Amino acid sequence: MTFTVVGADLSRSFADIDGLVAGCKFSDCTHGSEPGCAVQNAIKEGILTTERLGSYNKLRKEARYEGLNSKMIERGKITEMFSGFGGMKNARKFIKEKNRKK
């Protein structure tokens, strides 16, 4: 069964995490392994569970695509997939160079 998120209000549903996010050292904290992450600190102290953070991250990811058409969603997911390469263009360049060496 698949559910679609409509009008996700993360600040209401996850007010506890939202409050913690304000205490992170960096404004662009992903709440993963950054130093000074208030969310990870709360998990270590037993204030927050990893499951709750997982739910928050999942809903935040789904809400990112709210209001987009299928092509826009696909482009966003592909961009995210290849972000480790610096984007789709760099991924293509990497594959092309790899194939030349064969």
Indicate the pLDDT class of residue 38, thresholds 50, 70 and 90.
Answer: very high
Instruction: Give pLDDT, residue 8.
Output: 57
All structural domains of the chain: 8-64 (1.10.40.50), 69-102 (no CATH)
Tokens of 68: 């987009």
pTM greater than the 0.95 cutoff: no
Instruction: Give pLDDT, residue 102.
Output: 66
Instruction: Give pLDDT, residue 48.
Output: 95
Task: Give the mean pLDDT of the chain.
Answer: 82
How many Cβ atoms are within 10 Å of 24's Cβ, its own excluded?
19
Instruction: Give pLDDT, residue 66.
Output: 77
